[in-house]
Structure 1
Amino acid sequence: MTSLADAPKTVLLTPLLHRYMQDQAEPPTAIQLDLIERTRALGAPAEMQIPHEQAVLLTLLTRLSGARRILEVGTFTGYSTLALALGTPPDGSVITCDLSSEWTDIAKEAWTAAGVADRVDLRLGDAGDTLRALPDEPVLDLVFIDADKPSYIDYWEQLVPRVRPGGLLLADNVLYAGEAAHPQATGNAASIRAFNQHVQADDRVEAVMLPVADGLTLARKRDSRDRGQP
């Protein structure tokens, strides 16, 4: 017999409950609303934009961790970049990597309007090459991975050594619309499933998967105080 202690506490996220949860987040600013609308106008690619409640979480995590040196893989139209930059102090910096100047031109206008353009270092080109060009020693306080799914493990391996002890690593789309839970997952879902297994087995970090939007992994890089801990 299943005891009450073993019963799942997860609440089924109905459309009504999802809207209620969204309404509890700090509302978007006029600049954020404008960026949402400009991104929606792109059509199908707009699905790549993170939802506003996730942006609020990114800003909150940045502030809570005191992150000043941030790296993001996958800029798109810059909504997540904006959220991260808003969480940094005036002398903070967000390096963000993407391939598309068309989409990031929209992002740059939003960053300027929000007064954080001086905190954002946009690097166009292959993200793997950008990461390999970074200093080898730990220099980052927080990273956010939200790009091509087959490269997630490579990005992770490039970034973990470069995050300071106690720093945070975030990865988006780790549920991949629920498909990552299937052992027979294919395509991007299979890549995400492999990434999730990789993170779970990585003893350099402690991690939890959150059911935020399409799934968000939140990991902390272990430091010397964690020695001997599970």
Structure 2
Amino acid sequence: NSDADLSQRGVARLLGEFIEGLGLSEVTLVLNDWGGGQFLVSEGQDQHIARLVLVACEAFDNFPPGPAKAMAQVCRIPGGVWLLTRLMRVPAFRHSRGGYGGMSLRGVPDEIMDDWFAPATRSRAIRRDFAKFATGAPERKTLLAWSERLRDFDRPVLVVWATEDRLMPREHGPRLAELCPQGRLIEIADSSTLIPEDQPERLAQVLTDFLLQTGAEPVRHIS
């Protein structure tokens, strides 16, 4: 839909509508890299969220994160997203430690990055939508005001932060955990933003412990 609201706020609302449409309750919402799911709280759409896990993600005024701010400015220019898709074919650009290449200490495989960007190279509609999202963060004052509403989220929050992240400031981890009434912080060493890629076993154990400690009901398969 060319009229869809794909700003940070709009995508968060879409997530809330998706959860509502599936009829889910007692949801454990896990975010990594993208942090906009936090805005379910500021939008008053968090009634189905039982616990929140924030894994090395955008927070406070870090939307979009550090190096991506320049890319967002390029996306404001007509043809800018098309230009980015072409640049992403250049190994030195796609693997730059100051950009997407810095999201993992192990390096993001080329086939994964191809999957990320190939749809936008083929579709003008996808490039249009990407531009909407990339340029859809509000001003700093608004972002910080939305973040403050996490103080009202009275359910368990686990903050998992990477110690060697180039995109998400390390101080945001403890700051988020302190902001949330039931927040707790765990830092994972030898990892950048994509903790599921750099330290998958450690992250799986941390998530399992958190679910058990906060009384999450195990999934029961009906045969």
TM-score w.r.t. length of structure 1: 0.28
Q: Could you say which structure has the higher strand fraction?
A: 1
TM-score w.r.t. length of structure 2: 0.29
